[in-house]
């Protein structure tokens, strides 16, 4: 997925120029990721309790090695005034979780907990490896503004909902595994099937990796948008992950 600057926008146009000034005043020069929706926008979907994935796997536990694991979320600017904003990279490394492999009779299970406040936003190293669409350099004020709105009560609400949680089952052939995930954000649970590649490492650990796309609206979030949509964050997010599990704990009996 690639973000694109819009074409055909003229800086000499007085109408667009006024709109650009308004946008910059509202944004402080940066399209803040998932900011609070403007007055009069659609209300947030009604939240529902999160379901709990069944524990059905049998086998050894693999504890998540957070020092070697990471999850990246890429958000892209959009709209006629996209050039006034930045694409954003959110990086999560301080995660907890475990994976229990399945067998011929039982699917594998997994769980992951990500502390919202520990999200790293627009670190220069993360932007450098994200591609050409992330070559712009947000200022410290831009990054702090993005963090404030992202963690605030109108978006992820980190104070009331300090964790993003993922649970689910894993099945399919080794060459085409599917994670049937339940993603909980702000108490809203969303089901999602994600392709996963798993390999064994030389040190006995297992490495799960993959990438997928998901809409913010599907997760119960409202994408940032101002100036009648001329400056916005694209609804679709790109998510990339590499999760390393190290052997630990006793075998887990199957639940029938």
| DSSP per-residue letters across 6-17 | -SS--TT-HHHH
Q: Shortest CA distance to 81 belongs to which of 132, 155, 31, 37? A: 31
pLDDT band at residue 66 under the 50/70/90 scheme? very high
pTM above 0.85, yes or no: no
pLDDT value at residue 13: 35
Q: Shortest CA distance to 213 belongs to which of 42, 36, 2? A: 2
Q: What is the DSSP string of 127-161?
A: HHTT-GGG-S---HHHHHHHHHHHHSTTTT-TTT-
Residues 52, 167: contact at Cβ < 8 Å? yes
pLDDT for residue 59 is more than 80: no
**pLDDT top residue among 221 and 238:** 238
Rounded Cα–Cα distance for residues 4 and 1 (Å): 10
Rounded to 5 degrees, what are φ and ψ at 56?
-130, -5
Residue 122 lies in a domain: yes
Residue 26 lies in a domain: no
Q: Which residues contact 194 (CB under 8 A, 6 or more apart)?
A: 178, 179, 181, 210, 212
Residues 141, 28: contact at Cβ < 8 Å? yes
Residue 8 lies in a domain: no
What is the per-residue pLDDT across 130-172, written as a single tens digit (0 to 9) for each? 999 999 889 999 899 889 988 988 889 999 999 999 999 998 8
**Structural tokens at position 112:** 């992951």
Rounded Cα–Cα distance for residues 12 and 161 (Å): 45
**pLDDT top residue among 141 and 250:** 141
Residue 174 lies in a domain: yes
Residue 198 lies in a domain: yes
pLDDT for residue 31 is more than 50: no
> How many structural domains are present in the chain?
1
Residue 140 lies in a domain: yes
Show the domain range for 141.
49-247
Residue 24 lies in a domain: no
Residues 70, 31: contact at Cβ < 8 Å? no
Residue 62 lies in a domain: yes
User: Which CATH number do you get for residue 133?
Assistant: 2.40.128.110
């Amino acid at each position: 997925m690639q973000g694109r600057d819009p074409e055909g926008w003229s800086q000499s146009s007085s109408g667009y120029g006024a709109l650009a000034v308004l946008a910059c005043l509202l944004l402080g020069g940066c399209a803040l990721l998932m900011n609070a929706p403007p007055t009069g926008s659609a209300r947030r979907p009604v939240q529902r309790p999160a379901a709990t994935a069944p524990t059905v796997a049998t086998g050894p536990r693999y504890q998540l090695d957070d020092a070697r694991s990471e999850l990246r979320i890429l958000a892209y600017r959009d709209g006629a005034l996209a050039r006034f904003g930045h694409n954003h990279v959110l990086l999560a490394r301080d995660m907890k979780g475990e994976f229990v492999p399945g067998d011929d009779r039982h699917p594998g299970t997994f769980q992951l907990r990500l502390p919202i406040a520990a999200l790293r936003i627009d670190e220069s190293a993360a932007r450098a490896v994200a591609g050409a669409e992330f070559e712009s350099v947000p200022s410290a004020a831009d990054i702090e503004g993005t963090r404030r709105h992202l963690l605030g009560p109108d978006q992820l609400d980190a104070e009331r909902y300090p964790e993003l949680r993922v649970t689910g089952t894993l099945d399919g052939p080794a060459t085409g595994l599917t994670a049937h995930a339940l993603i909980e954000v702000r108490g809203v649970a969303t089901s999602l099937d994600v392709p996963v590649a798993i390999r064994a490492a030389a040190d006995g650990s297992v490495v799960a990796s993959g990438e997928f796309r998901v809409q913010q609206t599907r997760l119960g979030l409202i994408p940032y948008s101002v100036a009648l949509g001329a400056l916005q964050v694209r609804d679709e997010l790109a998510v990339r992950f590499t999760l390393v599990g190290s052997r630990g704990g006793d075998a887990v009996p199957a639940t029938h």
